[in-house]
Amino acid sequence: MTDDLPNNNPALLPAGLRDLLPPDAETEAAAVQTLMDTFAAHGYERVKPPLLEFEDSLLAGSGAAVSEQTFRLMDPDSQRMMGLRADTTPQVARIATTRLANAPRPLRLSYAGQCLRVRGTQLAPDRQVAQAGIELIGCDSPAADAEVVLVGWEALVSLGLERMSFDLTLPTLAPALFDDAGIMGPQRAALARALDRKDAASVTRHGGRLAPVLNELLLASGAADRALAALHSVSFPASARRLAQRLADTVAEIRAHAPAIRLTIDPVEFRGFRYETGVCVTVYAPGRHQELGRGGRYLCGETEPAIGLTLFPDALLRAAPPRPSRPRVFLPPGHDRTVAAGLRRDGFATVAALADHADVDAEAHRMQCTHILRDGRAVPL
């Protein structure tokens, strides 16, 4: 923590920012590489957007949803305002609609990097956030919705996460019902707040003739099969019925390929940045409130359908089983460099002595080594 450090302490960092020290920094890098390897194995090609962009391009399209979370500064070269990304998805959308506009569709892209936000939340106070994710662009189907869930699930399993929950949501369902019922203005805002808080009494007070349907949707939240059965029984207008059927078709696609995935549904929940247009997903580890990742369907550019999933390596490392540290071998002065190279190929980290030491074992312990090189081999300390 930095709160109890004196204000002139050089280790003091702004609120929501922190250093990542050994071995955590190496562990995070290895975890991100594992995620990216899984994405690549499914045909997702990596892109690397810049950390800064001109404000008008960074916040165009879906980027407008992260405007309030975006740090801004003046570019001293061009004298134009720039923004520091708060989320990577809008940048990938820009790349897809410009630099890769003529690439074959569906376009599968992946990314990993850091984002910076103006403020954190009570549950996630960090303002610098690591992201690793995928975007599937140019296809609007339940199979595409299912693919990002399935690839994300496989990537999490590769980190050793065996138990996780994928919570599917329909953030456009409630607005579609509001539109059909003609609910606008202050009543609409109050009703949206009531749904967000799961406040059935307020839903009844503000919902008018729509209140019974909305309360049914509140009660429908839970395990996927029960939630789908509840949704099937609700009397929906045509636009909302299409959304509910799309969710059911997506669940069927996921189950067809990975029946063991734990799926839950909350039809009136909304989480994340407000650019989603269809089925969305939030990933949780059982027993934990912090999100492991989230994503959903959106428009890439003005009209192109897309869906993505962003995973949060910081949260993943807290939920995943700890990985064993790389064994460290202390190399005394005059060691055989060929042997040392062989040890590195075998997965050891080698720590070479830079001076003679009266007690080599003590120096190896001081350098936090697990082994020492003796007679051409690594011997445990």
Beta pairing class for 107-116 and 128-137: antiparallel
User: Which parts of 2-99 are beta strand (E)?
Assistant: 45-46, 52-54, 71-74, 81-84
Supply the pLDDT for residue 288: 61
What parts of the chain have a pLDDT lower than 50? Answer: 1-2
Task: Please name which of 273, 12, 9 lies closest in space to residue 129, comparing C-alpha atoms.
Answer: 273
Supply the pLDDT for residue 347: 95
Supply the pLDDT for residue 123: 75
Supply the pLDDT for residue 11: 82
If one counts every other C-beta atom within 10 angstroms of the C-beta of residue 313, the result is 23
DSSP helix/strand/coil, 13? coil
Rounded to the nearest 10 degrees, the angle between the axes of helix 142-158 and helix 238-257 is: 40
pLDDT tens sequence across 251-307? 999 999 999 999 999 998 865 556 778 999 999 987 666 789 999 999 998 899 999
Phi-psi region of 343 (alpha: psi -120 to 50; beta: other; left: phi over 0): alpha
Supply the pLDDT for residue 289: 67
Taking the C-alpha atoms of residue 197 and residue 193, their distance in angstroms, rounded to an integer, is 6
User: Which parts of the chain are beta strand (E)?
Assistant: 45-46, 52-54, 71-74, 81-84, 107-116, 128-137, 165-169, 222-223, 262-266, 276-284, 291-300, 304-311, 328-331, 349-352, 371-374, 377-380
For 90, the token pair is 């809008």
DSSP helix/strand/coil, 128? strand
